[in-house]
């Protein structure tokens, strides 16, 4: 082990001790994912729940906001038997320990009541001022996944990782970083390799092959039919969607187009406009870009190559909703230098 490795290991053990210290002496435990939870958020919540059980013998409730939409995520929860409770059913005042995973307070991206201060925050997005009020704040934007942060803590502290938890963390890092290809670093690779030894690879393949309903294909078609290229920027508005995660999924899908530098997908779900940005440009920063574009409209953030945001549309007339969508797209195109480019359908009429 070289010097920087041993420093890192000490830091990871320190984080573990801080979380365990916060757990000790508490009675009622709640772990919160972000809204419309993804594998990274779910796996991190499972890890905290595991630590709670290990140190107190008690069970922690895992709460989530929004919907568990994407088929892979539903398959993950089903195969790994993760008990998840809708945030609307939670009395947040009834817990003396709360942890939030893969997001931070003040993001509008959890089912926490306004101004709620969790005991522990674990996240890999840029630090937010509200997070400083938490007793334990572990915010490490250098990590490709929040699951890498917790997995490193468990591994460094010699905590045995049961196969279901290892599978969840492994799958989470895999999904979040597109198999270590996106926004990931040395530590992600290291913990991924370690988890690979314990994870149930068959369960991973079952999760990845999660079945989708017929409507899913209609949404894929809407993305393809609606996609317009503005030079090397691809934009698709899905209109109303069955669940919000499809917006991010289609942004990944469309970025596969040869020569595309950016993809941007919009979709409306329950009076909220969801937007996702992806880029393959190593000099660009999708997270910074979305924050600039969405400021004054809603909230958003993310990582160098992937980012997302929400714009509340409650009470908007149809034309006001259309104007919000247009403003977002125009401002985004302007900031990536594609203003004035003519819109071309992804598939020309003659081939459709």
Residues that bind Mn ion (CB under 5 A): 40, 102, 146
Nearer to Mn ion, 107 or 146 (CB): 146
Nearer to Mn ion, 41 or 71 (CB): 41
Q: Do β-strands 272-279 and 60-64 pair in parallel, antiparallel, or remain unpaired? A: unpaired
35 touches 179 (CB < 8 A) = no
Which of 31, 32, 33, 35 lies closest to 310, judged by CA?
35
Nearer to Mn ion, 235 or 286 (CB): 286
Q: What is the CA radius of gyration of the chain?
A: 20
Nearer to Mn ion, 101 or 234 (CB): 101
Report the residue closest to Mn ion, judged by CB: 40
Q: Do β-strands 136-139 and 228-230 pair in parallel, antiparallel, or remain unpaired? A: unpaired
Smallest distance, Å, CB 125 to Mn ion? 7
Q: Show the tokens assigned to 69.
A: 């939409």
Nearer to Mn ion, 231 or 304 (CB): 304
Distance from C-alpha of 154 to C-alpha of 13, rounded to nearest angstrom = 8
Nearer to Mn ion, 146 or 167 (CB): 146
Smallest distance, Å, CB 34 to Mn ion? 8
Smallest distance, Å, CB 102 to Mn ion? 4
Smallest distance, Å, CB 159 to Mn ion? 21
Question: Element (H or E) spanning 228, and its range?
Answer: strand 228-230
What lies within 8 Å, CB to CB, of 271 at 6+ separation is: 312, 313, 314, 316
Smallest distance, Å, CB 54 to Mn ion? 24
Nearer to Mn ion, 102 or 245 (CB): 102
Smallest distance, Å, CB 231 to Mn ion? 30
Smallest distance, Å, CB 106 to Mn ion? 17
* Three-state secondary-structure class, residue 213: coil
Distance from CA of residue 98 to its chain's centroid?
19
Instruction: Give the relative orientation of helices 245-254 and 214-226 as an angle to the nearest 10 degrees.
Output: 50
Distance from C-alpha of 246 to C-alpha of 263, rounded to nearest angstrom = 14
292 touches 337 (CB < 8 A) = no
């Amino acid at each position: 082990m070289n010097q920087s490795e041993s420093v890192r290991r000490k830091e990871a053990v320190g984080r573990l001790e801080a979380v365990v210290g916060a757990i000790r002496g508490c009675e009622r435990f709640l772990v919160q994912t972000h809204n419309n939870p993804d594998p990274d958020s779910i796996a991190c919540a499972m890890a905290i729940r595991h630590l709670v059980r290990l140190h107190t013998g008690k069970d922690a409730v895992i709460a989530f906001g929004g919907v568990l939409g994407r088929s892979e995520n539903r398959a993950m929860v089903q195969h790994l038997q993760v008990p998840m409770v809708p945030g609307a059913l939670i009395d947040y005042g009834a817990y003396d320990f709360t942890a939030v995973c893969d997001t931070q307070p003040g993001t509008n991206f959890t089912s926490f009541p306004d101004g709620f201060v969790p005991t522990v925050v674990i996240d890999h997005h840029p630090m937010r001022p509200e997070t400083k009020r938490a007793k334990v704040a572990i915010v490490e934007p250098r990590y490709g996944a929040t699951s890498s942060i917790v997995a490193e803590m468990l591994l460094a502290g010699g905590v045995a990782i049961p196969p279901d938890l290892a599978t969840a963390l492994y799958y989470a890092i895999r999904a979040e970083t597109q198999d270590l290809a996106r926004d990931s670093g040395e530590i992600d690779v290291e913990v991924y390799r370690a988890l690979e030894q314990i994870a149930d690879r068959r369960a991973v393949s079952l999760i990845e092959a999660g079945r989708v309903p017929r409507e899913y294909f209609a949404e894929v078609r809407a993305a393809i039919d609606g996609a317009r290229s503005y030079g090397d920027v691809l934009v698709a508005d899905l209109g109303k969607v069955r669940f919000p995660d499809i917006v991010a999924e289609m942004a990944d899908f469309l970025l596969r187009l040869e020569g595309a530098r950016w993809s941007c997908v919009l979709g409306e779900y329950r009076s909220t406009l969801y937007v996702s940005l992806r880029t393959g440009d190593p000099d660009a920063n999708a997270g910074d870009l979305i924050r600039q574009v969405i400021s004054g409209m809603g909230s958003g953030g993310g990582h160098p190559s992937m980012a997302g945001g929400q714009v509340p549309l409650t009470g908007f007339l149809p034309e006001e909703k259309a104007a919000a969508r247009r403003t977002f797209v125009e401002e985004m195109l302007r900031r990536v230098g594609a203003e004035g480019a003519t819109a071309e359908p992804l598939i020309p009429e003659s081939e459709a």
